[in-house]
Chain A
Amino acid sequence: MSASDEIIQQYQDRSEYDHGFVTDIDTIEVPKGLSEETIRFISKQKKEPQWMLDWRLNAYNRLQKMEEPDWQKPKYPKINYQDLYYYSAPKSFKDGPKSLDEIDPEIKKTYDKLGIPLEEQKRLSGVAVDAVFDSVSVATTFKDKLKEIGVIFCSISEATREHPELVKKYLGSVIPVTDHFFATLNSAVFTDGSFVYIPPGVRCPMELSTYFRINAQNTGQFERTLIIADKDSYVSYLEGCTAPMRDENQLHAANVELVALDGAEIKYSTVQNWYPGDKEGKGGIYNFVTKRGDCRGKNSKISWTQVETGSAITWKYPSCILRGDNSQGEFYSVAITNNFQKADTGTKMIHLGKNTKSKIISKGISAGQADNTYRGLVSVHPKATGSKNFTQCDSLLVGNKCGAHTVPYIENKNSSSEVEHEATTSKISDDQLFYCRQRGLNQEEAVSLIVNGFCKEVLQQLPMEFAVEAQKLVGISLEGSVG
Chain B
Amino acid sequence: MNDLEKLKNHFEGFKNLEFINSESVQSRIDAFERFCQKGVPSLKQEHWKYSPLSKDLIHFQNLKFSLNQNKSFNDTHFEKFDHYRVLLKDGVLISDDIKEEGLEITKYKQDQFYEIEKNQILDFNNAFFTPGFEIRVDSNVNIKKPIVIYNYFSKDFDGNNINNKNYIYLDKNSKAEIYEKNIFEDEKDLFFTKNLDIELEQDANLVKYYLNSTNNNKTIYNFIRSKLKQNSEFEKFNFSHNVSSCRDEIIADLNGTNAFVSLNNIQHLSQKCFHEIKWEINHNEENTRSSQFVKSALHDDSVAAFQGKIFVDSKAQKTDGYQLSRALLLSDRSKFLSKPELEIYADDVKCSHGSSSGSIDQESIFYLRSRGINEPQAKCMMIEGFLAEVINKVKNEDVRNIFYNKLNEINNT
Contact = CB atoms under 8 A, between A and B. Distances in A.
Is the pairing of A and B real? Answer: yes
Interface of A: 71, 382, 385, 395, 397-427
Contacts of B331: 415
B332 A414 contact: yes
Contact of A410 (B314, B337, B351): B337
**8 nearest A-B pairs in the assembled complex, by CB-CB distance:** A418-B358, A415-B329, A397-B347, A406-B342, A412-B357, A421-B355, A425-B351, A410-B338
Interface string B346-388: 1111111111111100000000000000000000000000000
Contacts of A405: 341-344
Nearest to A413: B335
Nearest to B317: A400
Given A408-B341, A421-B355, A421-B356, 15 more contacts: A397-B346, A400-B314, A407-B339, A407-B341, A408-B339, A411-B335, A412-B335, A415-B358, A417-B358, A418-B357, A418-B359, A419-B356, A419-B358, A423-B340, A427-B349
27 contacts: A71-B46, A385-B332, A397-B347, A397-B349, A400-B314, A403-B345, A404-B342, A404-B344, A405-B342, A409-B339, A410-B338, A410-B340, A411-B337, A411-B338, A412-B327, A415-B330, A415-B332, A415-B358, A415-B359, A418-B357, A418-B358, A418-B359, A419-B358, A421-B338, A422-B355, A423-B342, A427-B348
B352 A422 contact: yes
A382 B333 contact: yes
Main secondary structure of the interface of A (DSSP, over half): strand
Contacts of B317: 400
A17 B344 CA distance: 28
A416 B361 CA distance: 10
B283 to A, nearest CB: 12
Contacts of B342: 395, 404-407, 423, 425
Most buried by A among B46, B327, B344: B344
A8 to B, nearest CB: 9
Nearest to B331: A415
Contacts of B46: 71
B42 to A, nearest CB: 15
B291 to A, nearest CB: 15
B96 to A, nearest CB: 48
Contact of B329 (A398, A401, A412, A426): A412
Contact of A401 (B314, B327, B336, B344): B314
B351 A418 contact: no
Contacts of B351: 424-425
Report, as a range, how many residues of chain B touch the other chain.
35 or more
B347 A427 contact: yes
B126 interface: no
A426 B350 CA distance: 6
Nearest to B312: A425
Contacts of A421: 338, 340, 353-356
Contacts of A411: 335-338
Nearest to B340: A408
A410 B341 contact: no
Contacts of A409: 337-339
A415 B334 contact: yes
B359 A406 contact: no
A410 B355 contact: yes
Interface string B295-334: 0000000000000000000100100000000010111111
Contacts of A426: 349-350
B19 to A, nearest CB: 42
B353 A412 contact: no
B347 A382 contact: no
A427 B344 CA distance: 12
B282 to A, nearest CB: 14
Contacts of B344: 395, 397, 403-405, 425
Nearest to A400: B347
Contacts of A385: 332
A397 B343 CA distance: 12
Contacts of B327: 412
Contacts of B350: 425-426
A149 B203 CA distance: 75
Most B C-beta atoms less than 10 A away, residue of A395, A401, A410, A418: A410
B287 to A, nearest CB: 15
Contact of A400 (B338, B346, B356): B346
A416 B359 contact: yes
Given A410-B339, A415-B332, A420 B314 contact: no
A172 B344 CA distance: 37
Among A398, A415, A421, residue most surrounded by chain B Cβ atoms (within 10 Å): A415
Contacts of B341: 405-408
Contact of B352 (A402, A404, A424): A424
A423 B358 CA distance: 18
A425 B352 contact: yes
A401 B313 CA distance: 10
A311 to B, nearest CB: 21
Contacts of A418: 356-359
Contacts of A397: 344, 346-347, 349
